Amino acid sequence: MPDSHEETITCEIVIKWYKVSSRSQFGEETLSGLGLQALMDVLGNPDWNQVYHCWKIHSRHMPRLQPFVNHKFDKAKFVYFIEAYKNQLNA
């Protein structure tokens, strides 16, 4: 009987924010306490290519993401995006 292998995807999840009045990135934070499945639940299970993806954070997402972010969301001043990067694949 062949050995069974379980694949585990580990991801780095990063939130970036930009001033509403410019295209310059204002800040970036790695969300180490937020898992990929929890992020997918917050975002409504969007498409994810399992390598890299970026999604815009809307007002409806902010209350569920706030516990994982070290700063307070300020949607009047900033536009937010969240990115997921695949770190490694273990078999």
pLDDT in tens, 34-45: 988 899 899 888
Tokens of 65: 């993401």
CA distance 18 to 27: 7
CA distance 23 to 13: 21
Average pLDDT (14-20) is 95
User: Quick check: 90 pLDDT over 80?
Assistant: no
Paired residues of 81 in beta bridges: 16, 56
pLDDT value at position 11?
84
pLDDT value at position 19?
94
* CATH topology for the 8-90 domain: Chitinase A; domain 3 (3.10.50)
